[in-house]
Amino acid sequence: MLEAERKQGQFPLLEMSHLLYGGKDYFDKFLERQSFFDNHPLFKVNHNFYNMSRQDQILLNAERTVEALKKLSLADPNYYTPNVLCPQGIFISTVHFAMVIPAFQVLASDEQISKWMTLLKNLNAFGCYAQTELGHGSDVQNLQTVAVFDKQTSEFVIHTPNIEATKFWPGELGLYCEFALVFAQLQVDGKGYGVHPFWIRIRDKETHKPLSGIEIGDIGPKMGYSVKDNGFMSFDHFRAPLDSLLNRYIKVSRDGKVERQGNPKVGYGSMMYMRNILCDQYTKFGGRALTIAVRYSLYRKQFKDDNKQEIRILDYQCQQQKLFPLLAEFYACVFGSVKIKELVNDNFNRISQQNDFSLLGLTHAVLSGAKANYTYFVANCAEWCRLSCGGHGFAHYSGLPVIFFEMSPNITLEGENTILNLQLARYLLKQLQHVVSKPNAVPEFFKFLSLETAKVDDVTTLDNLITLLGLNCSILTKYAAQKLMSHTDMKESWDTKAGIALAKAASTFIPYFNMLCFLDTINNKAKETKEILTVLARIYGITMLLNNMQGLLLKNQINSQQIQTLQDTRESLYPIIRLNALSLVEAQGLSDNSLQSLIAPKDGDVYQNMYNFASKENSLNKQQVHNGINYIQKMREVNAKL
């Protein structure tokens, strides 16, 4: 059924695959890793997984991590692709490699790196990133765990002063890690020096039991991340050695002398690294959901046309409206993430190798907005793909609920999205000031803030869509600035008067940024894919404007006729995407095992797949008569007495 759809694609599939993965080498590496998962019996998708207990799910994931280690270099910063491929859960070591090691590279001294890095990479020092507390998450500066320096012993006394200060949510803490990078308020001679990281052994090397003075456990079931042992930890005057403080930027001598050096904001470095992974790798889960939804929409037929032939649901305009704007947004986010990855790596290398912080502010701002935008996109995309698949989308065997459950937590973790948008808003305001006072200092991505008005004849061209998206953000940023400045108490104004306007302005920046990256891909990287990418880019830009054009409306920069033109143009582009829809999702190169879906195989009988699982693989049906039937009789007995 799908072969005819594949033949009508109007672009070379391989070129598109290379663009989506950042080049031929990256795509080939992806296929190599995918082949490992496809051919290893332990990684074959088990649709009965969701009938298993959480304990059994966790143990299966641990076994899979060991097998992956035999083949894959999990210490390689590019390894994270397997998390997109690995069925039903992410590896045990994700936090260790994605957060702990990058934090060491930025925050530890050369001596500490020499002592620990090899042990970290070979897992002989296996750790978690213990920052978030029960009472404080995004508000890092007000964490309550304390590290009090004891001059008599030259040790730090780590203590949890109250329930709110309990470390809560760190992955790999509940069951596995032996060490923890604990963020605590440093106090020396009664003076506070802010929050700093301490590398502490928390479990016994031989027994794996928590050390005396430390309480540890798993926090319990969550929405998503069922195999991840998010944990809690509290300290009762636990003593840590002097060199437990990662001391590249702050040192405490044996007699209690405190010496600072470098930029105190360097702690953002490791968090940026994880946020980059969320943008770069986890965005691809949106593509996985779209592959399932598009394929199923081609298999599924409902109602008949005038010739008494059933119609594929992807031929309905309303189904196209559900999926095609999301498909365009997926491509936009992927191309945006490529630029963000370059920016993050450049910033990380400058800080760690040259002590150069010149890109820190720009990187933090763009990455904050992108993390907020991309993680919301993936969860929203998974939900709409599930809805587009009707009743079967609700079933775990569709492969869609797991994407929604596993990706939704990313909206909150590693920076709650509203907070991140407000951090981007702060940078927008700063650049808005520079537009007037220091125009040459404004980064290229933010020069649009000088826009006051724009007259465009055709609102649907790529260049004009970019101009309008930039103008929209510029107007909303200036509107937010006016609201903020209209009150004398700036802190109160930020918190209670202008917050909504600030977050709104920030939320419109990433669509503009994505369009710049989309256009750059079309102009400088695409060859025979230029035409179809241009169609996708236009659909994306139009959708972003139609979803949020408040700034343009505030200043009468768009009229009703232009809005109608945007709507009509988007609909006129859908037939082109319809011809290419299957090729656009299959350019990702995802195997059936990676999709983890019975409703969207590359070839085969969808309905037979679903029936086979229900009748032959569903463990709940192993007993011909289930034990629960006894309770039906008890219910009858209770009812008879009423």
Q: Annotated catalytic sites, by residue?
A: 414
Complete edge-to-edge strand list for the sheet that includes strand 167-168: 167-168, 231-235, 214-218
Residues 299, 388: Cα–Cα separation, whole Å = 13
Tokens in use for 624?
């011909």
Going by their DSSP bridges, the two strands 301-304 and 310-312 should be labelled as antiparallel
Contact predicate 227/61, CB 8 Å:
yes
Residues 574, 580: Cα–Cα separation, whole Å = 10
Going by their DSSP bridges, the two strands 191-201 and 179-188 should be labelled as antiparallel
Contact predicate 176/193, CB 8 Å:
no
Contact predicate 250/243, CB 8 Å:
no
Contact predicate 518/533, CB 8 Å:
yes
Q: What is the CA radius of gyration of the chain?
A: 27
- Half-sphere exposure in the Cβ direction for 180 (13 Å, CA): 32
**C-alpha closest to that of 469 among 420, 525, 424, 517:** 517
Tokens in use for 433?
């000031």
Sign of CA dihedral 122, 126, 127, 128: positive
Q: How many CB atoms lie within 10 A of CB 222?
A: 13
Tokens in use for 152?
């008599």
Residues 374, 359: Cα–Cα separation, whole Å = 22
Tokens in use for 480?
């937010």
**C-alpha closest to that of 392 among 597, 620, 586:** 597
Q: Is 137 helix (H, G, I), strand (E, B) or coil?
A: coil
Tokens 């809805």 belong to residue: 387
Residues 3, 432: Cα–Cα separation, whole Å = 53
Residues 9, 577: Cα–Cα separation, whole Å = 9
Q: Where are the alpha helices (DSSP H) in 389-461?
A: 401-407, 417-437
Buried b vs exposed e over 513-524: b needs ≥16 C-beta within 10 Å?
bbbbbbbebbee
Nearest 10 degrees: CA dihedral of 562, 564, 566, 567? 170
